[in-house]
Amino acid sequence: MVHKLFKVTDRDKDFFQIYLENRMPERIFDAHVHLALPEHTANIDPTLLETDWAIQSASSMSVEQLGKYASCLFPGFAYEFLALPLPMKGVDLEANNHYISCKSNCALMAVDPCWETKYCEELLLTDGCAGFKPYPNLVSTTKGAEISIFEFITNAQLRLLDKHKKAVLLHLPRALRLPDDDNIRELREIRHTYPDLKIVVAHFGRCFNIEPFLEGVKKLGVDIEGFYFDTAAVLNPQVYAAAFDLIAPEKIIFGTDLPIMLWHGKRTWFKGGYQNLCREDFKWNKHTEGNEEEDKYTFFIYEQLKNILDCIGNDEQLKHKVFYENAEQVYTV
């Protein structure tokens, strides 16, 4: 059963037909999808439920639900995915990891920095495990907490990934995200220390606005060649235009951040931040534009896809790289 708020409108069908259907590749690999059952997330930290818009938007999705959403969102297209757990304080990580390992062909397991190395290696060698997905929230529930990357994934865990030539999907901590000098230093340290580790930086380094993205890319300099970047939850057309100009085409990986970005809406940007405008009635949603304007919204994911395809244009080779070939290179078990 799909979420009670999920609905495909005539506006969505028209948008898909006009802007997406004839431009998308026949095959899509979505490299950023969270799967979890309600019982896995029943004890999420109450602070997150009060303060985190993303968790309020979605805290669970089964593989069966994902199949139904994908068939509605991408009718007629072959859809594959990388399964991620929901690594939040209070989530039953062991059960969530077991679920995605059983229900998907390709998955990243959550790791707690407190877990013993032997257990982490057993987890890593689970069928379908392409690597680890650590997360700052397992250390601090404060968004943008001033913590080190090495506080939520240990060197011992990184050594395992390097040893087995697996991948890590990094969500950067600290308020400045990618441009933060300590994040830049630690990314370089990880790249230098673990040469066989495939490092994917989620959400373009959590750069949802153009200013931090340009600053972060500039600070990385030539070292940017050592990292992959996924597109999850990034809607900003300026970020995409810069990314396709500044990042090698084989380093950009398509991802949606389902089910968090499942809904109808758009994003507006201002220096230092952004605002999500959404039709569905969530606690965080202030409905600032009113019902008449909200009826014109299409899916966040459709807005994202249009912006990506506008940047790619008629380059079919680049299209195939971004939408599935790059992910296969990184996450193939």
51 lies in a domain?
Answer: no
Identify the CA nearest to 36 among candidates 8, 64, 17, 12: 64
- C-beta separation of 82 from 108 below 8 A: yes
The whole-number pLDDT of residue 333 equals 61
Integer Cα distance of 159 and 190 in angstroms: 10
> Which range of residues forms the domain containing residue 261?
10-28+108-331
The CATH number of whichever domain residue 15 belongs to comes to 3.20.20
Q: Which two tokens stand for residue 69?
A: 């959403």
CA dist list (Å): 98 to 85, 101, 152, 174: 9, 5, 20, 30
In a domain, 75, yes or no: no
pLDDT score at 308: 98
Q: Is residue 115 part of a domain?
A: yes
Q: Is residue 72 part of a domain?
A: no
- Predicted confidence at residue 120, as pLDDT, reads 97
Instruction: For residue 39, tell me if it sits in a domain.
Output: no
**What's the pLDDT at 328?**
96
Within a domain: 56? no
Is the pTM of the predicted complex or chain greater than 0.85? yes
Side chain identity at 241, as an amino acid letter?
A: A
130-159 pLDDT tens trace: 999 999 999 998 888 999 999 999 999 999
Residue 96 lies in a domain: no
Q: Would you write out the chain's pLDDT as a tens digit for each of its 333 residues?
A: 899 999 999 999 999 999 999 999 999 999 999 999 999 999 998 888 888 999 999 999 999 999 999 999 999 999 999 999 999 999 999 999 999 999 999 999 999 999 999 999 999 998 889 999 999 999 998 888 999 999 999 999 999 999 999 999 999 999 999 999 999 999 999 999 999 999 999 999 999 999 999 999 999 999 999 999 999 999 999 999 999 999 999 999 999 999 999 999 999 999 889 999 999 999 999 999 999 999 999 999 999 999 999 999 999 999 999 999 999 999 986
Residue 48, in any domain of the structure: no
Count of the separate structural domains present in the chain: 1
